[in-house]
Amino acid sequence: MPDMLTTPQGRRIAFHHTAGQGPTVVFLGGFKSDMGGTKAVHLQAWAQAQGRAFVRFDYSGHGESSEAFTDGAIGDWCADARAVLDMIDGPLVLVGSSMGGWISLLCARAMPQRIAGLVTIAAAPDFTEDSMWASFDPDQRDALMRDGQIALPSDYGDPYIITRRLIEEGRNQLVLRDPLDLPFPVRFLQGTADMDVDVSVAMRLLDHVTGNDVRLTLVKGADHRFSDPDCLALMTQAVQQVLDRIGS
């Protein structure tokens, strides 16, 4: 059973904490994913084998946490992540997958003094605006504004219910419009066969951020899941490289 914490907003967030050496590695999952996913569980097993402190958690409306998915938005899920990070002592290495990459960038911008390093997998910054809203046709936009939500097909199960609030609130959380300094080791990982986050997003992110130790690795043929044995090994290697760069 997971542990639970209550955020300042009253949401109940499920998490698993593995004790060990710091900095603590924290996995931030993607849109409609949960902390039982392949990457999160693999990274926890790696951390345990290394004696490394590790945390994985579910945003509100995801997995075992409280609230409904359709009630949430990027700012809410970032606040959930901040509540988890605030309960951890010492420096942090964030590992953000897809939407978790966006949220990890928001956390890094808000609390750079706590962040020792960052790894992202298929990071999807600003996707509510640049991927969703930008791709909607006039009928979809009209329906979203009129009805408050629309349904989008998903390759991962049930259709995604996209709410008007998700789009409008996401405009307050954009990270690719203003300067974004990442003054710690950063490793971006991206598959070239990703049908959800195009390689151009990774290139835009690389060009946009500033920092003295920022690298992008492209994996030919890897998809958005980034969960085959080679990709999982690359993820843990990236985390270890960040830890080595900060001497931990």
In a domain, 34, yes or no: yes
In a domain, 166, yes or no: no
In a domain, 200, yes or no: yes
Count of residues for the chain?
A: 248
In a domain, 160, yes or no: no
The residue range of the domain holding 66 is 3-126+174-245
> What's the total number of domains in the chain?
1
Q: Helix (H, G, I), strand (E, B), or coil: what is residue 35? A: coil
Encoded tokens for 84:
């988890």
Q: What are phi and psi of 227, to 5 degrees?
A: -125, 10
DSSP character at residue 161: E
| pLDDT tens digits, 163-220 | 999 999 999 999 999 999 999 999 999 999 999 999 999 999 999 999 999 999 999 9
In a domain, 150, yes or no: no
- CA–CA distance from 34 to each of 20, 27, 64, 109, 150 (Å)? 23, 10, 8, 24, 22
DSSP character at residue 210: B
In a domain, 33, yes or no: yes
pTM of the model: 0.96
Closest CA to 73 of 9, 116, 138: 9
In a domain, 138, yes or no: no
Task: Show pLDDT as tens, one digit a residue, over the chain (248 residues).
Answer: 899 999 999 999 999 999 999 899 999 999 999 999 999 999 999 999 999 999 999 999 999 999 999 999 999 999 999 999 999 999 999 999 999 999 999 999 999 999 999 999 999 999 999 999 999 999 999 999 999 999 988 777 778 899 999 999 999 999 999 999 999 999 999 999 999 999 999 999 999 999 999 999 999 999 999 999 999 999 999 999 999 999 87
In a domain, 197, yes or no: yes
CATH of the domain at 227: 3.40.50.1820
